[in-house]
Structure 1
């Protein structure tokens, strides 16, 4: 799992970790400072730890 950080390219469908939680990207985009996954529900879906590595949430 890739750690979310500003400046990375976020790929659609990939799982990213931010502050100990996992999020699946809804769209490809460049991560911007001040817009982490927990603050941008239009861009990321939080997923349960059991769903990490699965193609379904």
Structure 2
């Protein structure tokens, strides 16, 4: 059986089909993480968005 740490609180959690909150230990920890995403506390690195009007059409 695989055991992981809850991303929110660090508690050890069994990774099984019966654990409906995996990788979190509880619904509370899952909601805390969702709230952090909603408040933009987490970011995914990437370049600035490209405006399609700034990109020349192919073949020019």
Larger C-alpha radius of gyration, 1 or 2? 2
Higher helix share: 2
Q: Which has the higher contact order (CA 8 A, sep 6+)?
A: 1
Q: TM-score range by the shorter chain?
A: 0.3 to 0.5
Higher strand share: 1
